Every structure is written in C-alpha cells, then in structure tokens.
C-alpha cells in the first residue's frame, strides 16, 4: 500500500516534471528568439514591404506619399536612360561572371597540383579579396590615367603601343570599371574551387588512371562534372555580385558619375542617384523592386539547378 | 591521417607525371600572382614617395619617406575614420557572433511549434538585397534620429541570415548527449549554449567573424547614405571623399588607400590559415 502510493507519487511527479520540462524548453527557445524575431521583422520584412509600397507612390522625401499605381514602373519602361542602365548591368554580369570563373578555375586547377610555395602563391591570389573596393577603385583609376601619370599607358608607350583612353571612352569605360571587380573576386573563387577539388575522392582519379584516361579526359569527364555544385554556387554568387556593382563605379567615375554618356552606370548607382541626389524616393523604390526581381530570379534558378542532383 | 598521406603521395605522383610542363605551370602561376599583387604593391610603393617622385613609376621608391603617412594621420580625419571603422566592424561582428549563433543553436537544438516558420522566414531574407532596403532604412534612421550615429551605421547588420544558417549547420553536428549531460549537471539552457555548445563550434565562429568583419570594414553604400558628418564617416566613405577632394595628389590618395588596406593585410598575415579555411567553410556550407 505504502509502496504503491510511493510509486504513484513518483509517476505523477515525473509526469509533472517532464511536462514542465518541455514547457520550460519551449520558453527558453522563445526567450532566445524574441529579440531576433523582432529584429528580422523590423529591419528586414517591414522595410521590404515598405519598399514595395513606396514604389507605388510619388514620394519625394519631403511631403506626403501619394498612391500613383504603376506610374513609376511605366516611367522606367519609357525611359531610354533606364534601358541603357539595364544593358550596362547585364554587361557587367555577362562579361564578369564567365571571365572570372574561367580564370579562377584555371588557376585553382593548376595551383591544386603545385606543392612548391603553394601557400605563398595562393596568398598572392587571395589577398586582393581582402582589400577595400573603394581603395582599390582609386588605385585602378590611377593606373588608367593618361601619360605621364598612369601605369598602363606608360607601359603601352614603353613598348610602342597606342595610348588608350580607358575611363574616358564609351567603349572601354565599362570594362575598365569591371576589371578591378573581377580582380578582387578571383581569390575567393579560387579558394572555393580548390576546396571543391579537394572534396573529389582520390579513388575516382585512380580508377580513371587504371582505365587509361588521358589527363584531358579526366578533367572533362570527372573533375568538371563533379564540381557542378561548386560551380553553380560560384556562378550565382558572382552574378549577384556583378548585378549589384556599385563601389567601383561610384569611385572611378566621381567626376562624371556613371561614366561618359552613362556608359558605366549600373542599376545600383541609378537607385542611389534617384533616391539621394534627386530625392525621388518612389521612383528609386521602383528601381529597387526591379533589382530585387532580377536577383530573386537568379537565386531561384540556383535552387532549381541544385535540386536537379 | 592515412588518407591524407596516400592523397599527398598520389598528388606527388601526379605532379611528377606532368613534370616537363610543371615548371612552366609553376612559373605562369607565380607570374599571375605577381600581376594580382601589382595594384597593392604599387599602392604601397607610391605611398612612400613624395609628390616629385610619383611620376617616376619606380617599383621601389628611390627615396622612401613616411611623410605622407605622418601628414595623413596627424591631420586627424584618417585616424578618426579608422577608429570609426574599427569600432563599427568589431561591434557588428560581436553582435553577429552572439545572435547568429544563439538563433542558429535554438533552431538546431530546440523542438517547438513555429520553429520551421522562423527558420524559413530568416532564410528568406537572404533573397532581399541591401540595395532594396537602403531607402526604407534611411527613412527609419531619419525618423528615429539615427542619421550620423554609430548605431545608424550598425543597426542593419546586427544579425544576418547567412550567419544564422552557417551556425545552425554546425550546431546540428553536436551530439544531443553532450547537452543532455550538461542538463543533468544542472546547467540552465543559456549556460549549456554558452559554455558547452559554443566552444565546440569555434571554427565556425572564426569563419563567421572573418566574413562579418571584412564585410563591415569594407562596407560602402550604407555608411555613405547614413552619414553626412565627416566625423562619423567610416574608412571607405572617408577615403572616397578625401580622394575626390585631392584628386590630383595621387601619392596622398595612395597613402589613404594604403591606410585602409594595411590593417586587413596585417590581420591576414597573422591569421592566414584560419581566414582561408573560414572562407572555404562559409562558401561551402
């Protein structure tokens, strides 16, 4: 009798304590999450909705926003300057991504086999990734100056080649701005490619050699296919970076923002100017929605391609 | 261990097999590395020249001088911008280390209703570009009186979805038994996270710290928008305005650019191993 009672009490106690344990567990979880949830709500989701709402108004920073429907978007479509910006933005992407991926893959592939001074050579490629884009934009801007200031034109003169206008030419300015962006991103891509190469099991290579595959066949039939996910990640990562290019353009073309005839102007610089030079907040917000849509499409494409495997 | 050895062995073998070309490949890689370093080396070299030597374009200055640095740093503005950037980047990094890992841990190790909604909601913010938020953030900062303040520069980055996701991945690798044992010892949940779980994910924390610090040290567009008082500029914003002001004094611009670059170079030289590993980790997770 006493024994049974004790058992019952134990059982009840353990049930009570287990129940309260779980409740405590949940309370701890929400205690940990309360500030972060508040943060993401106020600093991420609310501003996102706000940007969508502002894109439907004529707000100009001062005064009251009036709802004008899709007028801002209509204005974007009708504006040839915006189409120029749109083309520039995609030019950064379409040139920048393949060039930087091919370069970084070639370097990573070769560097992976090099043992002599491996760390030192890797560091030489990686260090530009750690630089400040603003600082390097000015260094490159200096390189592009005409003789006697600029390094590149001096080199060209020394070997008897014609001088190049670089940032002053509508043909070359975009490429001149793109170069430091590619340069700064290479180190990151090389390191990621090398991590991907290391992750390929050595047995695959051994099997291929036993089968008598040539080095080129190994590269194209084993290495590159097995790097698919690394490559997709880098394509998307660098595409998003080029679509958002700003620091280099802003600093390399301060005298003439957006370069000669807006030939270097990307979407983000347009957004910055609409919002903080002309104070057309509604119009700028519509441009950010366009940027958001492009980036979203890029990210969703990545998810789709990754799911395939 | 055995795997590493056999890997190294076969790697050596592969290297030997391509030996005739290997020397050439090594040379080309080395030359490419020098090209990569040229902008940085030229920047540093020119920062050691006085105005009369700038156009000689020598790699090694004929009469190196620290005068440019002395001029810049005694001027006060650059020291101020350096201090601002250091403070902002360190504070934001600490905040991310604390909150991202706390949230990552909670999402990895707690079972409760709403967990997956919170996770998906946080993850979905990865899709929202900063540039879309700067206009609403600016309005928020203006209405709250945060323009031209450290808090104004810092508040958008205090937590990130990237960091949360990275930390969650790593906390999921910790066996529940470890945490259960601490629970039996009478630790509360906060102590378990802080004293047991956090030390186990130290490599991930160093990766997160690397990314967050670097991102904030080099951040440009948001500090440019939220500050108009030069006293509050961060290094990149200050350097940009300084360079516009002195746009023909290239030796001074190069010195300013060096001042912005040298701190990260020094940190890299000391922590090279951790930084490269951290970047690999952050990129692959």
Residue that has been written with the tokens 């520069």 in this structure:
B153
**CATH code matching the domain that covers A77-307, chosen among 3.40.50.620, 1.10.10.1800, 1.10.3720.10, 1.10.1040.10:** 1.10.3720.10
In order along its 285 residues, chain B shows pLDDT tens digits of: 334 444 444 454 454 455 667 889 999 999 999 999 999 999 999 999 988 888 777 778 888 889 999 999 898 899 999 999 999 999 999 999 999 999 999 999 999 999 999 999 999 998 888 899 999 999 999 999 999 999 999 999 999 999 999 999 999 999 998 888 888 888 888 999 999 999 999 988 988 998 899 999 999 999 999 999 999 999 999 999 999 988 888 999 999 999 999 998 888 888 887 788 777 776 655
DSSP assignment string, B178-241: HHHHHHHTT--HHHIIIIIIHHHTHHHHHHHHHHHHHHHHH--HHHHHH--SGGG--HHHHHHH
Check if B282 contacts A (Cβ < 8 Å). Answer: no
Q: Which of A3, A176, A196 is nearest to A96 (CA)?
A: A176
- Tell me, what's the pLDDT at B7? 47
B237 touches B227 (CB < 8 A):
yes
pLDDT at A196 over 70: yes
Judge contact between B216 and B93, C-beta under 8 A.
yes
CB A296 to CB B6 under 8 A? no
If 0-12 CB within 10 Å is exposed, 13-18 middle and 19+ buried, where does residue B84 land?
buried
Q: Best residue in B20, B25, B38, B39 to probe A by mutation, most A CBs within 10 Å?
A: B39
The pTM of this model reads: 0.88
User: Is residue A71 packed enough to be buried (19+ CB in 10 Å), middle (13-18) or exposed (0-12)?
Assistant: middle
Note the pLDDT of residue B186: 86
The mean pLDDT of chain A is 88
Nearest-neighbour CA in chain B from A7: distance (Å): 22
* Lowest-confidence pick of A112-121, A277-286, B4-13, B120-129: B4-13
Give A281's contacts (C-beta < 8 A, 6+ positions apart). A54, A57, A59, A60, A61, A65, A275, B135, B139
Find the closest chain A residue to B10 by CA distance.
A202
Strand partners, A60: A62
Amino acid B275: pLDDT: 80
Interchain contact, A244 vs B268, CB within 8 Å: no
Residue A214 confidence (pLDDT) above 70: yes
Cα–Cα distance for residue pair B100/B112, rounded to 1 Å: 19
Chain B residue with the nearest C-alpha to that of A186: B36
| Nearest CB neighbour to B110, from listed A29, A51, A240 | A29
Q: How far is B221 from chain A (nearest CA, A)?
A: 7
Reported for B142-147, long-range contacts at CB under 8 A and 24+ positions apart, including other chains, are B146/B226, B147/B226, B147/B227, B147/B228
Domain boundaries B76-284, CATH class = mainly alpha
Position A168 scores a pLDDT of: 87
Is the CB of A292 less than 8 angstroms away from the CB of B126?
Answer: no
pLDDT at A7: 57
Contacts of B126 in chain A (CB under 8 A): 299
Cα of A1 to nearest chain B Cα, Å = 32
- B169 reaches A (C-beta below 8 A): no
Whether B156 has its CB under 8 Å from any CB of chain A: the answer is: yes
d(C-alpha A62, C-alpha B221), whole Å: 22
Copy the structure tokens of residue A126: 């990686």
Spacing of C-alpha A98 from chain mean position: 14
Which of A1-10, A214-223, B223-232 has the lowest average pLDDT? A1-10
Residues of chain A positioned with their CB less than 8 A from the CB of B138: 275-276
Q: Is there a contact between A302 and A232 (Cβ–Cβ < 8 Å)? A: yes
Kindly indicate the confidence band of residue A1, based on its pLDDT and cuts at 50, 70 and 90: very low
Question: Does residue A277 register a pLDDT over 50?
Answer: yes
Q: What is the tens place of the pLDDT at every residue in A11-36?
A: 555 555 555 778 888 899 999 999 99
Model confidence pLDDT, tens digit, residues A147-185: 888 889 988 988 989 888 898 888 899 999 999 999 999
Q: Residue A36 is nearest to which of B14, B22, B159, comparing CB atoms?
A: B159
Q: Which of residues 226-255 of B touch A (CB under 8 A)?
A: 235-237, 239-240, 243-244, 247, 250, 253-254
- List every span in chain B annotated with CATH 1.10.3720.10: 76-284
| Cβ–Cβ gap A121/B29 under 8 Å | yes
- Give me the residue from A130, A289, A291 closest to B268, CB to CB: A130
The answer to whether residues A84 and A265 touch, using CB atoms and an 8 Å cutoff, is: yes
With a pLDDT cut of 70, the percent of chain A lying above it is: 93
Dist CA A59 CA A278 (whole Å): 11
Which chain B residue lies closest to A43 (C-alpha atoms)? B156
Q: Which residues contact A171 (CB under 8 A, 6 or more apart)?
A: A263
- Residues A158 and A152: their CA atoms lie apart, in Å, by 10
Best mutation target, A27, A49, A139, A234, to test chain B (most B CBs within 10 A):
A139
């Amino acid at each position: 009798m006493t024994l049974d009672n004790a058992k019952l009490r134990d059982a009840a106690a353990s049930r009570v304590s287990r129940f309260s344990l779980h409740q405590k567990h949940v309370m701890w979880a929400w205690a940990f999450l309360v500030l972060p949830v508040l943060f993401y709500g106020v600093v991420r989701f609310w501003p996102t909705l706000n940007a969508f709402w502002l894109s439907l108004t004529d707000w100009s920073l001062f005064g009251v926003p009036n709802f004008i429907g899709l007028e801002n978007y209509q204005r974007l479509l009708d504006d040839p300057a915006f189409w120029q910006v749109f083309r520039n933005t995609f030019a950064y992407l379409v040139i920048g991504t393949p060039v930087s991926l091919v370069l970084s893959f070639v370097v990573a592939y070769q560097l992976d086999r090099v043992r002599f001074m491996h760390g030192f050579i890797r560091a030489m490629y990686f260090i530009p990734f750690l630089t400040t884009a603003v600082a390097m934009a000015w260094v490159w801007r200096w390189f592009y100056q005409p003789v006697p200031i600029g390094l590149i034109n001096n080199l060209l003169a020394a070997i008897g080649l014609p001088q190049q206008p670089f940032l002053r030419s509508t043909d070359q300015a975009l490429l001149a701005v793109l170069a430091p962006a590619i340069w700064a991103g290479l180190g990151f891509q090389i390191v990621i490619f090398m991590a991907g190469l290391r992750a390929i099991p050595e047995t695959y290579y051994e099997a291929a050699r036993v089968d008598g595959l040539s080095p080129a066949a190994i590269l194209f039939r084993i290495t590159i296919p097995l790097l698919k996910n690394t490559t997709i990640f880098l394509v998307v990562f660098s595409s998003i970076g080029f679509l958002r290019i700003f620091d280099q353009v802003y600093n390399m073309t301060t005298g003439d923002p957006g370069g000669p005839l807006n030939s270097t102007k990307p979407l983000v610089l347009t957004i910055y100017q609409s919002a903080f030079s002309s104070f057309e907040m509604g119009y700028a917000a519509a441009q950010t929605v366009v940027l958001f849509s492009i980036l979203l499409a890029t990210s969703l494409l990545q998810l789709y391609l990754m799911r395939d495997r | 261990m055995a795997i590493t050895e056999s890997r190294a062995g076969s790697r050596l073998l592969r290297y030997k097999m391509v030996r005739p070309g290997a020397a050439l490949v090594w040379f080309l890689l080395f030359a490419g590395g020098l090209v990569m370093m040229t902008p940085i080396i030229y920047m540093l070299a020119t920062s050691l020249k006085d105005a009369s030597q700038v156009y000689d374009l020598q790699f090694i200055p004929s009469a190196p001088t620290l005068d440019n640095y002395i001029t810049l740093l005694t001027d006060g503005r650059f020291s101020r911008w350096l201090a601002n950037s250091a403070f902002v980047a360190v504070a934001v990094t600490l905040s991310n280390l604390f909150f991202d890992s706390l949230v990552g841990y909670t999402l990895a190790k707690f079972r409760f209703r709403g967990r997956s909604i919170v996770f998906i909601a946080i993850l979905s913010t990865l899709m929202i570009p900063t540039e879309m938020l700067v206009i609403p953030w600016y309005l928020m900062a203006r209405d709250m009186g945060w323009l031209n303040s450290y808090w104004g520069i810092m508040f958008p980055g205090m937590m990130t979805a990237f960091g949360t996701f990275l930390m969650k991945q790593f906390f999921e690798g910790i066996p529940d038994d470890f945490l259960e044992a601490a629970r039996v010892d009478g630790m509360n949940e906060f102590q378990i996270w802080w004293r047991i779980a956090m030390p186990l994910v130290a490599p991930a924390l160093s990766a997160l710290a690397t990314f967050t610090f670097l991102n904030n040290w080099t951040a440009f567009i948001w500090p440019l928008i939220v500050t108009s008082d030069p006293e509050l500029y961060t290094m990149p914003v200050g350097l940009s305005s300084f360079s516009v002001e002195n746009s023909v004094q290239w030796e001074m611009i190069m010195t300013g650019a060096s001042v912005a670059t040298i701190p990260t170079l020094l940190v890299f030289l000391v922590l090279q191993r951790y930084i490269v590993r951290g970047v690999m980790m952050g990129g692959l997770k």
